[in-house]
Amino acid sequence: MKLRHQNIADSIDTIQAVSVLLFTALVGGGSFCAGLLGSLTGLGGGIVIVPMLTLLFGVDLRYAIGASLVSVIATSSGAAAAYVKEGYTNVRVGMLLEIATTLGALGGAYLAGRIGTSAIAVIFALVLLYSAYRSMKPLAEHVSTDTAHPLADTLRLNSTYPTPNGFQPYTVQGVPAGFGLMALAGVLSGLLGIGSGALKVLAMDQLMHLPFKVSTTTSNFMIGVTAAASAGIYLSRGYIDPVLALPVMLGVLAGALTGARVLAGAKTTILRRLFSAVVIVLALEMLYNGIRGGV
C-alpha cells in the first residue's frame, strides 16, 4: 500500500514538472514572438508581454508587469551599448531626461500598489491603442538647425550624428516641455511595466526636435534605467517571480536579436500593420476585462 501511494505521489510530481516545463516553453515562445515584432516595428516587445501573460496565460497583472520590466532591462542594455558606440545616441540628453523618467517610474511603481488591477488594465488598453496608432504613422526624419533652447546651450545638449554624408550637426529645442513629457512616460513605464518608447520618441522628436534616429536610440538608452528604477519596487513587493521572468527575458531577448538581423530585408509597412492589428486586439480585450473587473 505504501509503495502504491509513493507511485501516485511520483506521478503527481511528474505531471506538475511537465506542466511547469510546458508553461515555461509556451511563455518563452510567446515572448520570442513579442520581442521579434517589437524589434521589427521599433516599439519593443514589452508592450505585448503584459497583455499576453495576463490574457493568454492567466498570470496576475502585477506579476506580468514585473516580468515585463525585467525583459525591458535586458533588451535595452544590449542595444543601447551598440547605438552609443555608433554615435547615434545623445548621451547628454539621455542622462538629463533620465532624471524625469526615473522619478516618474518610481511614482508609477508606487501607484501600481495603490490602484486596482482593473483600472491599470483600462489605462494599459488606452496606451496600447495609442501605440498601435503611432506604429501606423512613423515619424519622418528631420534635422533642426534653428537656434537652440538656452538650456540646451548651457548643458551642451547639441550634438551630431552619423549620416552617409558625414556627421550632421543638430540643435535641441523645447527642453522643459520634453522633460515634463518624459516624467509622464516614466509614470506609465512604472505603472504598466513597459518601456514607453513611443511616448519618449514623440517627446524628443516633436518637442525637442531631435533627428528621428537620435530620438529612437536615445530612448533605447533611457529605457533600461527607467525600468530598473521601478523594477526595484516590484522586486521588494515580491512581484518579480524568477520562474516567470526568466523565460520572458530570454524569449524577448532572442526575439529582439533575431528581429535586428532580419530588419534590413523586412517589409516594415506590412510588419507595422501586423503589429497594430495584434496590439488592437489585445487592447480591446484588456479594456473589456478591465471594465468588467475580470483582470
Sign of CA dihedral 33, 37, 39, 44: negative
Instruction: Look at strands 159-163 and 166-170 and give their pairing.
Output: antiparallel
Q: pLDDT value at position 175?
A: 92
Above 60 in pLDDT, residue 283? Answer: yes
How much is the pLDDT for 262?
67
Helix (H, G, I), strand (E, B) or coil at 192: helix
Question: Using 50, 70 and 90 to split pLDDT, how confident is the model at 137?
Answer: low
What is the SS3 string spanning 96-129? HHHHHHHHHHHHHHHHHCCCCHHHHHHHHHHHHH
pLDDT at 83 over 80: no
Q: How far from 229 is each of 53, 282, 283, CA to CA, in Å?
A: 22, 27, 26
Distance CA 256, CA 11 (A): 38
pLDDT for position 247: 93
pLDDT class of 2 with cuts at 50, 70, 90? very low
Length of the chain: 295
111 vs 47, more confident: 111
The C-alpha atoms of residue 28 and residue 47 are separated, in whole angstroms, by 16
Band (pLDDT 50/70/90 cuts) for residue 92 is very high
The CA–CA distances, whole Å, from 22 to 16, 18, 59, 100, 284 equal 10, 6, 15, 41, 28
21-44 pLDDT, tens digit per residue, is: 888 899 999 888 887 776 666 566
Range 276-285 average pLDDT: 81
200-253 residue pLDDT tens: 877 888 888 888 778 877 887 888 788 888 888 888 888 999 889 999 999 988
pLDDT at 179: 92
The CA distances from residue 184 to 28, 102, 111, 180, 243, in Å, are 30, 10, 13, 7, 31
Residue type, 156: R
Q: Tell me the pLDDT tens digit for each residue of 178-206.
A: 999 899 888 888 888 877 776 787 788 88
Separation between Cα atoms, residue 90 and residue 96, nearest integer Å: 10
User: Domains in the chain: how many in total?
Assistant: 1
How confident is residue 18, by pLDDT bands cut at 50, 70 and 90?
A: low
Q: State what percent of residues in the chain have pLDDT above 90.
A: 11
The DSSP secondary structure of 5-50, one letter per residue, reads: HHHHHHHHHHHHHHHHHHHHHHHHHHHHHHHHHHHHHTS-SHHHHH
Domain extent for 118: 2-292
CA distance 245 to 145: 44
- 132-155 average pLDDT score: 75
